Chain A
Amino acid sequence: MSVGSLCVFVLLWSVLARWLNDNTLPAPAVVWHSMQVEWRSGELTYHLGMTLLRVAAAFLVAMSVGSAIGIWLGMQPLANRIVDPWLILLLNIPALVIIVLSYIWFGLNEAAAVGAVALNKIPNVVITLREGARSLNPEYSEMAAVYRFGFYKRLRHVVLPQLQPFFAAATRSGISLIWKIVLIVELLGRSNGVGFQIHLYFQLFDVATILAYTFAFIGVMLFVEYAVLQPLDKRTNRWRASHGR
């Protein structure tokens, strides 16, 4: 079904490209050719790799900092009342402003780039995990208290499994948001990565190569979704599947 609908998409694209017949919309075959040229020269792998590294670094920073703050705010109503306005402020600063300011204040370097991307994502993670921490079931906490679970045991067996759906939600929305912002960061202040290449070929008005990089990166993200995230989700949700008495 989904393969069929993708085929229809490619077909429509070919028809439209033939009808327009100029280089603003190259045919799928032309894009495929550009992709192969970039692949053979090694450029595609290099720039994809750089972007992927930035996505991974920004994701790790955003998830660890964001979930730590989120869980803390979910458990401490007073801290939440103090921090909440900041969070709303941060949520409403445009990504572009954070990126530009980060480059101005910290220089055109990798740390500023990754930090700016992470900072754009952190408020979302905080809000998602704060909801998770608020919904922790006190019955399980009491059971853990009566049976004298230590901090580590409580975290691993009682708290984290309850937060798992919230981590999954933050991961899903996080990765797609992060990779889009990483391209902007690369366009504005890095000399490699998919965003840099798109900027380069934009100046050359080479739409085929722009699309080649775009689809290549979408392909990588689909691989992450189907080969990493979904199997992981299935594994952690085994207990939900086993219903019935």
Chain B
Amino acid sequence: MVDSALVVDVKGRTFALQDGDVLQAVDQLNFTLPAHSFTCVVGPSGCGKTTLLRMILGLDTGFEGRIEHIGEGAVAAVFQEPRLLPWRTVEQNIRLVLADDNQDESLDELFEVLGLQDMRSFYPNQLSLGLARRAALARAFVLKPALLILDEPFVSLDKSTAQRLHTLLLKLWHAHPTTILMVTHDMSEAAVLADRVLVFSDRPARLVDEIVIDPPQSQRDATMQLAIAQRIQRTVV
């Protein structure tokens, strides 16, 4: 039996709108994330994926149901925008998430892997979007999180930059196994990264399908990735 890292059992989440209407963002979402799995969430845009991530992160508490983090360990997140503090350097931004007395030496290794060693003393506005996203990944991984939430972390990057970051993310994940839940609208991205894919319906979000992808990420070639992407695409309404 595989340990689970996160249990999601949400009955519903509604938002009251200005004009008195009620918007139902999520309806009956029920799934479990196995420990150390890499799960991608796909679905039509505006279907409530980001709302779900916010609920898991504790930023949205106005829902019915329960979300349970199993076991100890930190939760980390990479948002669509890198959300680095512009008045702190890259290194300060990353160290900030650690406890004050933590002199973590794995930071050097992390900078090395992500190719950020020359950028330590840069301010975020001196970085390209791709580099800022790497710094945001470094900030998440330096915590050695038990659960990592990624909200379209590679959106609006050019293809080759996105591909380089996919490789880096898999490398970090293998070096430090953690449970990852990532929202994406890009099926080919899911086909490269995920070992499980949750397909959501249009709003209100319901679970339409749960696809388990067998061959490990490192053994998938381009043809196989294309086939997986097409299979996910067929299930998305």
Q: Are A146 and B59 in contact (CB under 8 A)?
A: yes
- Given A153-B96, A242-B123, A245-B126, also A146-B76 (CB < 8 A): yes
**Contact residues in B for A147 (Cβ distance below 8 Å):** 76, 96-97, 139, 143
Whole-angstrom CA separation of A146 from B149 in the bound complex: 10
- CB within 8 Å of A: which residues of B? 57-59, 74-77, 79, 81, 83, 85-88, 96-97, 122-123, 125-128, 139, 143
CB within 8 A of A161: which of B75, B87, B128? B87
Q: Are B127 and A143 in contact (CB under 8 A)?
A: no
**Contact residues in B for A226 (Cβ distance below 8 Å):** none
Q: Are A143 and B83 in contact (CB under 8 A)?
A: yes
CB within 8 A of B96: which of A139, A149, A240, A245? A149
- Given A243-B125, A245-B128, also A157-B96 (CB < 8 A): yes
Would you mind naming 13 contact pairs between A and B with Cβ atoms under 8 Å apart?
A140-B83, A142-B79, A145-B58, A146-B59, A146-B77, A153-B96, A157-B88, A164-B87, A239-B125, A242-B122, A242-B125, A243-B126, A245-B127
**Contact residues in A for B59 (Cβ distance below 8 Å):** 142, 145-146
Q: Are B125 and A146 in contact (CB under 8 A)?
A: no
Given A139-B83, A140-B83, A161-B88, 9 other A-B residues pairs in contact with their CB atoms under 8 A: A139-B79, A143-B77, A146-B58, A146-B77, A161-B85, A161-B87, A164-B87, A239-B86, A239-B123
Q: In the complex, how many angstroms separate the beta carbon of A156 from the nearest chain B beta carbon? A: 10
- CB within 8 Å of B: which residues of A? 139-140, 142-143, 145-149, 153, 157-158, 161, 164, 238-240, 242-245
Whole-angstrom CA separation of A153 from B139 in the bound complex: 16
Q: In the complex, how many angstroms separate the beta carbon of A237 from the nearest chain B beta carbon? A: 9
Whole-angstrom CA separation of A81 from B72 in the bound complex: 43
Q: Are A143 and B86 in contact (CB under 8 A)?
A: no
- Given A140-B85, A161-B85, A239-B87, also A244-B126 (CB < 8 A): yes
Whole-angstrom CA separation of A55 from B77 in the bound complex: 47
Q: In the complex, how many angstroms separate the beta carbon of A106 from the nearest chain B beta carbon? A: 42
**Contact residues in A for B75 (Cβ distance below 8 Å):** 146
Q: In the complex, how many angstroms separate the beta carbon of B86 from the nearest chain A beta carbon? A: 6
Whole-angstrom CA separation of A140 from B96 in the bound complex: 13
Whole-angstrom CA separation of A139 from B79 in the bound complex: 9
Q: Are A158 and B85 in contact (CB under 8 A)?
A: yes
Whole-angstrom CA separation of A244 from B126 in the bound complex: 5
Whole-angstrom CA separation of A164 from B75 in the bound complex: 30
Highest count of chain A CB atoms <10 Å: which of B57, B79, B83: B83
Whole-angstrom CA separation of A148 from B76 in the bound complex: 10
Q: Which 4 A-B pairs have the closest CB atoms?
A: A161-B87, A147-B97, A239-B123, A143-B83
Whole-angstrom CA separation of A145 from B77 in the bound complex: 11
Closest to B59 in A: A142
Whole-angstrom CA separation of A243 from B124 in the bound complex: 9
**Contact residues in A for B57 (Cβ distance below 8 Å):** 142, 145-146
**Contact residues in A for B85 (Cβ distance below 8 Å):** 140, 157-158, 161
Q: Are A242 and B126 in contact (CB under 8 A)?
A: yes
Whole-angstrom CA separation of A218 from B108 in the bound complex: 52
Whole-angstrom CA separation of A67 from B127 in the bound complex: 33
Whole-angstrom CA separation of A242 from B90 in the bound complex: 13
Whole-angstrom CA separation of A149 from B97 in the bound complex: 7
Whole-angstrom CA separation of A143 from B143 in the bound complex: 14
**Contact residues in B for A149 (Cβ distance below 8 Å):** 96
Whole-angstrom CA separation of A171 from B208 in the bound complex: 58
**Contact residues in A for B126 (Cβ distance below 8 Å):** 242-245
**Contact residues in B for A157 (Cβ distance below 8 Å):** 85, 88, 96
**Contact residues in B for A158 (Cβ distance below 8 Å):** 85
Q: In the complex, how many angstroms separate the beta carbon of B161 from the nearest chain A beta carbon? A: 13
Highest count of chain A CB atoms <10 Å: which of B58, B125, B143: B125
Whole-angstrom CA separation of A153 from B88 in the bound complex: 13
Q: In the complex, how many angstroms separate the beta carbon of A232 from the nearest chain B beta carbon? A: 15
Closest to B96 in A: A157
Whole-angstrom CA separation of A110 from B81 in the bound complex: 53
Whole-angstrom CA separation of A63 from B58 in the bound complex: 35
Whole-angstrom CA separation of A20 from B60 in the bound complex: 75
Highest count of chain B CB atoms <10 Å: which of A143, A158, A244: A143
**Contact residues in A for B74 (Cβ distance below 8 Å):** 148
Whole-angstrom CA separation of A164 from B85 in the bound complex: 14
